[in-house]
Structure 1
Amino acid sequence: MSTVSAAASKTASAHGARDHARAQQGAKADAMPVLPASSWPAPVEGVAAEDMVWAETVAGGNYTHKTLARGTELRLTDPTGDACAHVVLHSADRPWERLNVADTVKVLWNAYLGAGHLLLSDQGRVLASITQDTSGRHDALTGTSTLARNTERYGDGSPQSASPAGRELLKLAALKNGLAPRDVPPSVSFFQGVRIAGDGSTEFTGSAGAGVSVTLRAEQPLTVLVANVPHPLDPRPAYTCGHLEVLAYRAAPTAPGDALWDATPEGRRAFLNTAELLTARGIA
């Protein structure tokens, strides 16, 4: 009897299917969530295991999502040098307020993401701040890949294919949070860089290498959508994307007196806008 037919015979009945499913308990894959997050084998230095709220490895060509409390820190790590995290943020219970990449670049007078940068909503509030960055290779200009472009480039861009497009995966993540495709704005990308040359052309600068990380701090309750797919400007002909490490843990939001709060006049106004909303709602 073939392996396929033998496996099929074990699941031919409800009892057989149940026993087969239960036998998978404890099995581990290279990319999967760790439950509970406190059991992650190598937690962040200085963070107690019980403060871990999200621990997951996301395979290349896959996605993840989570709703995080205000003050939570989210650390993304590129273990191989080939990950590319395309991130979208929504206010958790007010999803019409979401990441606005144009305002994030325009209001802060800086198109290059890094430590101290604020990720702004379309209403002038801070969704998240970047508190730490060892990569320096990010992109707030290009957005993620699309179905049409991936189909043209790799032969397919559908979510179930071997070369899923970032926007298709972000739409799936959005749907699992009660959002529609129209709720998915342009994303920011971490770990694969883009710069603008003197002549105005776009230069892909690629990865800073293996082991780099970036940490975001939620400045209000957030729904986080992440697609880990190749950057659309990556020149390599093959669909190449390494796994992504995602860890989140309890921390404290930025408060008045924090250096980040007063780093720029524009940033301070965005924090004041955020504090006004949260105070009125009894969150801060």
Structure 2
Amino acid sequence: MFTKYSKKIETLFLEPSLEPKNTEQNVNIILSPSFYWVKKIFLPLKRARDVKKLLPSIFEEILPEGNYSYAVYKKEEYFLAFAYEDREILEFLAKRGISVAHVANICFAQTFFSEADLPLRISKERTLVMQDGIVVMVPSSWQISAKEFSLDDRNFPKQTITLEKFNHIVDKKNIYQIGSLLIFITFLLGIELFMVQQNRDEILSAKESIFSKYNLKPTMMQNESMAKKYSALHEQQMKFRTKIGTIINLQLKPNEKIDSISYKDRSIHVLFQSVKESDFKHIAAALEAKNIEYKVDFKDSMAILEVQL
């Protein structure tokens, strides 16, 4: 956890892999990419607040299960959209002995560092780089000529976020959904209690009308089918994230590098440059240590790796 000290405030770079630094000073926090998800999106909208309403749907297919907050900033002709878990950041600050009361501002590494700052080595193992306008963290062995980390005297960016302390208990979307469901159930029971002695057929007709109006599934079997579908999607996304994480954190030799990573037909395809069959043993050992099944072909000085999800 790197810091910059001034008479009034410190700036901390918050990253789980770095050694902790306890402080009782007021601090500004720069969040490492480890704490958030970011997307570069193009939409025919002018205002960031209009885009923010769409972010839960935009991030839905890539986020693991959790309660997320969202932020979005206009950047030239596109938007930078962020998703993060307040609970994860708050718990990490608590472990580091940093009181939320002492946190003045929080921003993303994406908004603090410019392309001119990068690549920037934050530790022996990790380096910040810019890829297609997105700040990401890669193994330091990929960027031998990276600059040494320092926090200069620049002003803290205006694009900051505020952590919600109770966001992790029940998020706002769920509150509205639960409230609507309770109102609906109360309304339905009220109708049934009032009309049950008068006409059973009218009660069933009203019930079917309400189910149709609120777009509810008519049977428990259908609702269970939806739950299984989303559970399978979550499991697939977690496997994908775990295997991608293992691949990008491989300890490659200085002359070896990953040329490309692609996803097709439920398989991750990775092209290694300067990796012959005789050089592949350390990569194979790392994959097998994580129980990752794979296929590999060799062509000239390239290794073509395929990992099934």
Give the TM-score of the pair, scaled to structure 2: 0.21
**Bigger share in helix:** 2
The structure with the larger Rg is: 2
- Bigger relative CO (Cα 8 Å, ≥ 6 apart): 1
Give the TM-score of the pair, scaled to structure 1: 0.22
